[in-house]
Structure 1
C-alpha cells in the first residue's frame, strides 16, 4: 500500500522502447552494440532483492521502500515514505 505521491514512482517500465524512432535500444542509431550482454556492460547492475530492508522486520525489499507490504498494512502507513494512509484504530489485528 503506497500513497498517491509514491504511486508515481512505481510507473517505471522495464521493457525496451517499442518504436524505432528515437529509441535507445536500436542498433541503427548507435544506441547499443550487437551481441552485447547488458548485465555485464552496465556499471550499476540491477538486483531483484537489493540492499534495502524493512525497518520493522528486517526483511529484504524488492523496491526502494522503508516497510515491507505486510508491515505497512499492519501499521497503516505508506510502504515507501512512511506517511499515514489508513486509519487502523477499528481494525482487529492480532500482532499489532
Structure 2
C-alpha cells in the first residue's frame, strides 16, 4: 500500500510491459542488445537478497524496496509503506495479528 506521491518512486519491475507505448518500465535503448553475452553483463543483474538492507520498523522483516514498512504491517496500520503517511482508516476493520 503506497500513497499517490510515493507511487512515482517505485522501482521498475524486471519484466517489461507487453505494450511498449506508454509503459514506464521499458528501457530507452530498445531493451536488450543483440548477441549480448550474458556472462559479461551479469554484474548488472537484479539480486533479490544481495543488496537490500532495509528492514521494517515494526516487525524487522526485510523490505524489498526503499521504504519503512513491509506490506503486511503497512496494510494493518493503514499507512504508506514508503513514507509512513496515513492512507487508510482501519479503525472499523477486524484484523488479526497473524
Q: Give TM-score, length-normalised by structure 2.
A: 0.66
Q: Does 1:39 align with 2:42?
A: yes
Aligned residue in 1 for 2:9: 9
* Aligned-partner Cα distance in 2 for 1:94–1:25: 45
Aligned residue in 1 for 2:33: 26
* Aligned-partner Cα distance in 2 for 1:24–1:93: 43
> Higher helix share goes to which structure?
1
Residues 68, 83 of structure 2: 8 Å contact kept: yes
2:70 to 37, 43, 68: 68
Gaps of 5+ in 2: 21-27
Change (3 A) 1:5 1:88: same
* Aligned-partner Cα distance in 1 for 2:53–2:59: 14
User: Number of residues paired by the alignment?
Assistant: 85
Gaps of 5+ in 1: 28-32
Change (3 A) 1:80 1:92: same
